Amino acid sequence: MWLALRRLRWARRVAATPLQACWRQPLPDRHRDWRAGSFLVCDGEMSSLDPARGELLSLGWVAIANGAIELASARHQLLASERGVGHSATIHQITDRDLADAPAPATAMAALLQAAAGRVLVFHHARLDLAYLNRLSHRLYGAPLLLPVVDTLELERARQQRRGHPIPAAALTLQACRARYGLPAHGAHNALLDALATAELLLAQIAHRSNRRGRT
């Protein structure tokens, strides 16, 4: 509801952009069973942890429909960089050469928005990814994304808090969250693989939530 109102404000600016096409799709119904809901799990690699200084280098996403991850929907997009990857290459292994013939950010963004239409976006630690995406969206379309978002990190934090467990920061990394559900370790720092890992985590979180509701 709130999202729809906020979109109104920006509606004129985004006319005839991929963002508008994306917004045309109806918002997912909150009250429906999650099993039927569909998600687009995203992850991005950046050249810096500070959105003001860094750039988005790559995006990976994979869709969840009917309670299962559909690998067919998996995409990995590199984004052309203006300032180079700098020292961050050691983390995500993306080099300037890789980015040399990458498409412009607008292309990647358009693809993402197309995939995201009618879906709930999912991130692990959404704040960081969204900061980058919103900046990019502002630059391209003059408006923030304004898409429904789920953050697996926040889900996990809420769950731990409900149980009264103290939550050290290290316990909320993607790896640690996955370990808690018995999901296998994944070592890669690659946007798509991270997105896939996040998607698996989301499935586990949802399964455990609905499972508990089922029991009581």
Residue count of the chain, please give it: 216
Core vs surface per residue 64-90: b (16+ CB within 10 A) or e? beeeebeeebbbbbbbbbeeebeebee
Which of 72, 87, 170, 216 is the binder for another protein (CB under 8 A)? 72
Which of 40, 46, 57, 69 is the binder for another protein (CB under 8 A)? 69
* Residue 74 CB, nearest approach to another protein (Å): 7
List of residues 6+ apart from 212 with CB closer than 8 A: none
Handedness of CA 25, 29, 34, 36 (dihedral sign): negative
Which of 71, 91, 104, 167 is the binder for another protein (CB under 8 A)? 71
* Residue 3: closest CA among 133, 116, 146, 151: 146
* Residue 68 CB, nearest approach to another protein (Å): 4
DSSP letters along 101-149, please?
Answer: TPPPHHHHHHHHHHHHTTSEEEESSHHHHHHHHHHHHHHHHSS-----E
* Residue 87 CB, nearest approach to another protein (Å): 25
Which of 4, 104, 176, 207 is the binder for another protein (CB under 8 A)? 207
Q: Tell me if 22 sits within 8 A of 114, measured CB to CB.
A: yes
Task: Give, as ranges, the residues between 166 and 195 that touch another protein (CB under 8 A).
Answer: 181-184, 188, 190, 192-193
The smaller minimum CB distance to another protein, of residues 145 and 150, is found at: 150
Which of 74, 121, 133, 143 is the binder for another protein (CB under 8 A)? 74
The smaller minimum CB distance to another protein, of residues 31 and 213, is found at: 213
The smaller minimum CB distance to another protein, of residues 11 and 167, is found at: 167
* Residue 144 CB, nearest approach to another protein (Å): 30
DSSP letters along 46-104, please?
Answer: ES-S-TTT--EEEEEEEEEETTEEEEEEEEEEE---SS--GGGHHHH---HHHHHTPPP
Which of 4, 70, 158, 176 is the binder for another protein (CB under 8 A)? 70
* Residue 79 CB, nearest approach to another protein (Å): 18
Which residues of this protein are in contact with another protein, per CB under 8 A? 67-72, 74, 76, 181-184, 188, 190, 192-193, 196, 199-200, 203-204, 206-208, 211
